[in-house]
Amino acid sequence: MTKKKTRIGIIICERYHSCAGGKCFRALRERRGAFRRYPADADIEIAGYCSCGGCPGVNIEYAPEEMIKNGVEVIHLATGLIVGYPPCPRLEYFQRYIETRYGIPVVAGTHPVPEKYFQVHKQLGTWKSKKWEKILQEVIETPEIRKAYD
Ligand code: SF4
């Protein structure tokens, strides 16, 4: 029996607009970070990849529509929205908006938080709240893995 393919879309923060997606693609392959949710043998395809378009997220309104037309069933907001300086203040709104408007799940995060960002945000106290603790669950990995994503 042919395995069902799951198509996912990734939206990155415009601050990292020139990023070629290496960490995200690798993390999907290695099932790290927010991609741990997919079984190792699941057939996952990245069928959409774009930036938010810049603050306040000018692509968020319609980019999901194009992704869904291309078969996307889950959208990931890239880890850059979580680790940027500052993290994206609209992340939760984007999640709620896309889920409400388009009816597909939106996951906060892609690849593991890199160790260098982890250390600085720890010193800054950026993530000291229930809200961030919940978001980070998907993308925090061991120090060894975080270093491997520096
Ligand atoms: S901080 Fe948020 S809204 Fe601004 S560019 Fe990054 S993802 Fe887009």
Whether the per-residue pLDDT at 98 is higher than 90: the answer is yes
Tens of pLDDT, residues 106-120:
999 999 999 999 999
- φ, ψ of residue 108 in degrees (nearest 5): -85, 110
Residue 97 Cβ inside 6 Å of ligand 1? The answer reads no
Task: Give the pLDDT band of residue 150 (cuts 50, 70, 90).
Answer: very high
Written out in words, the top-level CATH class of the domain with range 5-148 is alpha beta
Residue 1 has pLDDT above 70, yes or no: no
Output DSSP code: residue 32.
-
Report the atom number in ligand 1 closest to the C-alpha of 52.
Answer: 8
Inter-residue contact 46 to 25 (CB < 8 Å): yes
Would you kindly state where each structural domain of the chain is located, as residue ranges?
5-148
- Residue 119 CA to residue 109 CA, distance in Å, equals 18
Which residue's CA is minimally distant from atom 7 of ligand 1? 13
C-alpha torsion sign, points 15, 17, 18, 19: positive
Residue closest via CA to ligand 1's atom 3 equals 55
- Report the amino acid identity of residue 96: R
Q: 76: which 2 tokens?
A: 């990931």
